[in-house]
Structure formats: C-alpha cells, structure tokens
C-alpha cells in the first residue's frame, strides 16, 4: 500500500426531477447501493449531504446535474465495486433509463494523498482538466488509467529488495 488513494467524481444529467416516476428506480436504489459501497473492501469515503439520499440533493453545477464523489484505496478496489458488484453493475446497466448520455467525459479519476478528503471544487476542476486536455496523471479514466505517484516512481528506482534478516540473527 502506498500513500495515495484514488478519488473519483462523476456527474449525471438526470432525465427528470428526483421525485418524478422516471427516477423512482434510481432514487429507491441509491441507499442500498451506497450501503454496499460502504461495506466494500477498499472503500474510504464518499460525498454525502443531509437533504437527500447519498449526494442526490447536491447541485453545484446547476439544477439538472447530479454528482457523486468517493475515495478508494486503489483503482482495483473501485473497479471491483463499479463493475464486479452485482447490484451496482445492475444499477450501471440501467443508467440510461435515468440519465442522459453526455457528449463529454462524465467520470474522472485522480490520486489524492491518503487521508485527504477532496472538495467538490477539486473534483470539478479535475473533470474540466480531463475534458480540456484528455487523460493525464492528474485526471484520467478507467480506460486510460495512471499509476499512483509513488508507484510510478518505484518503477524507475533500482534499490534491491531488503535481504532476509536470518544472517544478522546468527551474527
């Protein structure tokens, strides 16, 4: 484990208001699915507000755009939850019932120092960066992932692995 965690932000353009029948399936599923995320190995943190399930009441980008943000111990931990957790995968499968497909990137990933809780502004500026410059170590996607800074540095380091301690035990 290195000193970095993976943050993700994604935004969704809802097809209707959260109290509309169109969104009923999504609104009913959000709390059980969030509870699964909380219990998932490698989950660290997720954005919440007091006014609706999950972060559904937060609208930093205007009334139609819903956001969701979380932090995970690793890219694999997040990927396992998003794509290999049955109920969440099923949620993803039905996402077009509830959200419009957006022409721009709607999900961004970036590394944060372990313990850092990213703010919404930080997440939105990473999304802007991804949209304007394409994937980079500062803002990337599942399709074009980048290693955490410490891991990337380790690849170029040539320090030999520490020797087993047995010899000095006998000395």
Partner 1 sequence: MSVSAGFRILLMNELSVVALLDDPVRRSLYDYVAVQSHAVSRNEAAQAVGIQRTLAAFHLDRLADAGLVDVTFRRPDGRSGPGAGRPAKLYQRATTEHQVSVPPRDYRSAAELLAEVVDVTGAEPQLQRSARNRGASAGRAARRQAPAEPDADLVTGALTAQGYQPYPDGTDIRLRNCPFDVLASRYPPLICGMNLALLEGLLDGAGVAALNASLDPRPGDCCVVLRESRDSKTNLD
- What b-and-e string marks burial along 90-111, b requiring 16 or more CB atoms within 10 Å of the CB? ebeeeeeebbeeeeebbbbbbb
Q: Measured from the CB of residue 33, what is the shortest distance to partner 1 in angstroms?
A: 13
Smaller CB separation from partner 1, 10 or 118: 10
CA dist 61 and 104 (Å) reads 15
Judged by CB under 8 A, does residue 154 bind partner 1? no
Q: Measured from the CB of residue 149, what is the shortest distance to partner 1 in angstroms?
A: 26
The two structure tokens encoding residue 107: 């999900």
Q: Measured from the CB of residue 79, what is the shortest distance to partner 1 in angstroms?
A: 9
Looking at residues 128 to 147 of the shown chain, list those that interact with partner 1 (rule: CB under 8 A). Answer: 143
Smaller CB separation from partner 1, 16 or 89: 89
Looking at residues 80 to 99 of the shown chain, list those that interact with partner 1 (rule: CB under 8 A). Answer: 82-86, 89-90, 92-97
Q: Measured from the CB of residue 94, what is the shortest distance to partner 1 in angstroms?
A: 8
CA dist 88 and 29 (Å) reads 9
Cα–chain center distance at 13: 18
Judged by CB under 8 A, does residue 35 bind partner 1? no
Name the burial class of residue 23, with classes exposed (0-12), middle (13-18) and buried (19+) by CB atoms within 10 angstroms of its CB. Answer: buried
Q: Measured from the CB of residue 91, what is the shortest distance to partner 1 in angstroms?
A: 9
Smaller CB separation from partner 1, 100 or 131: 100
CA dist 6 and 75 (Å) reads 6
Residues lying near partner 1 in the complex (CB under 8 A) are found at 82-86, 89-90, 92-97, 100-101, 143
């Amino acid at each position: 484990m290195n000193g970095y965690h993976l943050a993700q932000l994604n935004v969704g353009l809802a097809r209707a208001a959260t109290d509309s029948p169109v969104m009923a399936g999504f609104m009913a599923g959000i709390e059980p699915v969030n509870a699964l995320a909380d219990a998932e190995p490698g989950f660290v943190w997720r954005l919440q507000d007091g006014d609706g399930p999950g972060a559904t009441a937060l609208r930093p980008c205007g009334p139609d755009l819903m956001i969701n943000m979380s932090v995970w111990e690793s890219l694999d931990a997040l990927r396992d939850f998003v794509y290999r957790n049955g109920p969440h995968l099923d949620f993803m499968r039905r996402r077009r019932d509830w959200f419009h497909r957006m022409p721009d990137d709607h999900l961004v990933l970036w590394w944060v120092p372990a313990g850092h809780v990213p703010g919404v502004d930080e997440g939105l500026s990473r999304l802007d960066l991804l949209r304007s410059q394409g994937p980079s170590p500062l803002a990337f996607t599942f399709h074009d992932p980048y290693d955490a800074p410490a891991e990337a540095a380790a690849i170029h380091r040539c320090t030999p692995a520490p020797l087993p301690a047995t010899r000095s035990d006998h000395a």
